[in-house]
Each structure stands twice: as structure tokens, then as C-alpha cells.
Amino acid sequence: MKNLLICFLLITISVNQNLYGQEKAKTDTFSFSFEGKRRVGLVDQPVGRQPSAMIILVPGSGKTNIFGGSGYADLRRHFVQQGIACVIWDKAGCGKSDGVFDPDQPVQNSAGEVIAAIEELKHENVPGTNKIGLWGISRAGWICPLVIAQYPSIAFWISVSGTDDKENFGYLLERNFLIEGRSISETKKLMDEWKKDNELTAHGGSFEEDLKATENLRRDPFYMFLSNNSVPTKEGYLAWQKKFETGENRVDKKSGLLIYVPDFEKTLNKIHCPVLAIFGEKDSQVDWRKTIGLYSKTLGKNSKTQLTIKTFPNGNHNLIACKTGGYREQLAVRQPCEGYIETMVEWLQDKGFTAIER
């Protein structure tokens, strides 16, 4: 991190405004520089009291829009009502942040970005930085452990729809093919083509071979929806293949899946702070059962993590109440699972991180 040029700007944009229901809060805009590019986000703090802690929100995959209304406002409101300061910022090329958004940003790089923000928040003595915790969803299940391994003073971690050590795209495809009405045999055929695509890409197959091997997959309506009806190009195929040749992309020999964090179990074993892990049992994007198994044999065997696991039977990937958990349904439903927010608030109270006791 010592090669990072970090600057910080803190500008109060609202003070003593009743933004969070009965609890008054102030929201500050802040910016910091990571790898020479400016990131811009928000800091929420309770008014009239020192924050009991600070929680950094780490989003999942995809673009962010903190200032455009998609900034986890409801979640931040509940945390601030407990006397906890909240921090969130837009990814590169999103919102007011500089740079170009990279959908393939390595999780290691994202962890470095979080650490850069933490170091500057501490340098500026922003209230609440004496006790910093992380909240992260989905892809953040890789990022947060990497941050904690490098920054062991992190006070707690709330993992929502967390990941195991490998990519989850295969699980997403298989579950959603079935949800969208493909038969078991049709789903198997499509998944065999997807696995063949992975094999050819990772082991030097030609673009022409790949096109021939994935004819049915590329015509599937759901797969086309996910790819936004884009047509694969030889240039893109070779660029992705090169990452396997250089070793930037590593593949698990048994499953053929990408390994996002090598030696992930060792990374999890380095965590010594309290952990709350929350999952939706209708998650069609992350194999929550596999993640629970991984957490149990790593975090669960360390008394210092005081691992707490909570699942919601009707919850999807975003812990929104749902019927199927399908990817398309997720884009339409909005009501959080009953008890989801309360579970986090009560856990934070029990662990002594809030200004309000149960």
C-alpha cells in the first residue's frame, strides 16, 4: 500500500437533517485516490453523539450509483440509527468516481481499494475509525477476507451471500436454467457446453472450436439475456485466454472453475474477529450450502470469530423475499426478507458495536 498516492476531501453536504427517520444524521461526501484515480462516496454519521463504530459497505459485482439513489440507503439508515457511522463509495467510472469501470477487476485489487479508504479515514480521524467493521455482499465475500488478512484490526465482518473459493457462474447458470423451465436433460446439455467453453479457453482451444462447441448455449434465451445479446468476438476470446496463459487466471483442476483467491481457506483462517454470515436459501447465484460448509470448517473452528450463520428460506441473492430466487425475478422484487435487517442490528448490539444495547 505504500506506493499508493492517497488524498482525501471531506465536505459536509447535510447536517442535522432528519434523513434517517427519527435519528438525525449528517452525510459527508468524501474522496480518496487509489492508483492515481479519484473515488467518491459518502460517510453517514449520527448527530449529537460519537459513533460507536464505523461500517464500510463493500458491494458485489456490477456498477454502482451511490449518488443516483442506489447507495444502500435503507441499510445505512438502520446502521446509523444504532449509532454506527457508514462509509460507501462508487467504483471506478461510476457515479462521481474517476476512471473506467472494470467488470473484471481482480478481487485483490478491490481489497487494496478498501484498505486505501481505511487508511485515509484513519489519517483524517473521521469519527468511528477506532472500531471499523466490514459489511459485504456476494463478490465481497472474497474481498473482505483479503482486507482482514492484511488489516487484522478490523473489528467485525458481516458477510451476505458470501462466496466459496471458486467462481459461481456455473451455479448461476444451472440454477436459472432449471428455474426458467429447462428440463434436467436440457440443462445438462447446456452446462456441458459451458464446461467445454471453459476447457477450451483455459487450455489453448481455438476461437472457432469454441464457437462450434457452444452453439446451443449461445442460442439459449437466458444465456443471451445475461450476455446482453452480445456476439462473441475472436479478439475478446483471445484476450481472456491470454489471462490463463500468463497465470493471471487460475483454474481448479478437478472442477475446471476459476479460483478467485488461491489458498482461500488459509485466508479465512487468518480472520480473528466476530463474523455474521447471512444467506438466502433461494439464492440462485451463489451456492450458499457450499459457502456454509467452507465457513464452518474454517471460521467455525476459530473461537475468536464467534461465527453466527443465519439463513432465510424465502430469500434470494440480495436477501429480498422471493418466490423462485431466479435472476430475472431478482431484478423485479424489492421487499427485504422479514428479519434480515433485524438480524444484523441485533447481532451488532449483542457484540457491543452499537450505541444502543438490546
pLDDT tens by residue, 191-231? 999 999 999 999 999 999 999 999 999 999 999 999 998 99
pLDDT of residue 17: 35
Instruction: Check the CA dihedral 147-148-150-151 and report its sign.
Output: positive
List CB contacts of 196: < 8 A, sequence separation 6 or more: 213, 214
Check: CB of residue 197 under 8 Å from CB of residue 210.
yes
Residue 107 confidence (pLDDT) above 50: yes
| Helical ranges in the chain per DSSP H | 73-81, 107-123, 140-150, 169-179, 184-202, 207-213, 215-219, 221-226, 234-245, 264-269, 288-297, 327-330, 340-350
pLDDT of residue 7: 33
In Å, what is the CA distance from 141 to each residue of 119, 146, 159, 315?
21, 9, 6, 18
Higher pLDDT, 245 or 16: 245
Residue 26 confidence (pLDDT) above 70: yes
pLDDT tens by residue, 307-349? 999 999 999 999 999 999 999 998 887 889 999 999 999 999 9
pLDDT of residue 14: 34
- Grouping H, G, I as helix, E, B as strand and the rest as coil, residue 149 is helix
- Residue 105 carries which DSSP code? -
Q: How confident is the model at residue 5 (pLDDT cuts 50, 70, 90)?
A: very low
Domains of the chain: 8-165+260-350 (3.40.50.1820), 169-245 (no CATH)
